[in-house]
Amino acid sequence: MNNSLISVIVPAFNEEKYLNRTINALIEWGKAGEIIIIDDGSIDRTKEIISEIAARHQSVRKLFLLQNQGKGQALAAGVKEARGDILLFIDADLGETARYAENLLSPIINGQCDMAVAVLPKGKKKAGFGLVKRLARTGIYYLTGFDSVAPLSGQRAIKRVVFDKVTSFRKGFGIEVGLTIDALKSGFTIVEVEVPFKHRETGRDVSGFLHRGKEFIAVLSALFFSIRRSRL
């Protein structure tokens, strides 16, 4: 496992402010065999920045989706192109803290689990009221018996073999919940590990509530899909 190729997959939608810092931190980390950045139909300078980064660094590959399809579809496109034995999902807005990817990768390398999920420090801003997280945590526990501390965390290290069994990607923000449920139901092991990643925070304003509203709908949809499939 120590000699396995690591594919870092970075979905990006309108991340012109953070993307360079995130990718530079991953390159300085030095463990990635390849970094695949997927532009999910951005309307700012994200696509241009991705092209500039790929031109400078041979290990960086670029994918452009013609229109915004959501995080789940962007990740699916990256996984399809990845060549690694280990897949590392990293959000584009982690900035310099992306260098802590080693903390997330270690449980996989050491044979502790098939999927490692990052538990991030508490944010400085007060976000929502915890409804989305509570829904995700309750749904995962109901379907698998696994009590997840970070059910919505997008920062994950996953053995490629997991995707031989996980047959479907949930759309949008339901991807994390779907991955957890599918992996556990397929007999794979998951470990949650504290990692000092920091990303852009949403507050208790209109845009923050709209974001969490989309999350709630996506998570609810993912749970309904899993419940329906388990009853077939």
Residue extents of the structural domains in the chain: 6-230
What's 3's DSSP letter?
Answer: T
Determine if the pTM surpasses 0.85.
yes
Predicted confidence at residue 31, as pLDDT, reads 92
What is the C-alpha separation between 189 and 222, in angstroms, rounded?
20
pLDDT digits (tens, 9 = 90+) for 15-62: 999 999 999 999 999 999 999 999 999 999 999 999 999 999 999 999
Q: Is 117 buried (19+), middle (13-18) or exposed (0-12) by CB count in 10 A?
A: buried
State the CATH architecture for 6-230: Alpha-Beta Complex (3.90)
Q: Please determine, for residue 219, whether its predicted confidence score (pLDDT) is greater than 90.
A: no
Q: Please determine, for residue 126, whether its predicted confidence score (pLDDT) is greater than 60.
A: no
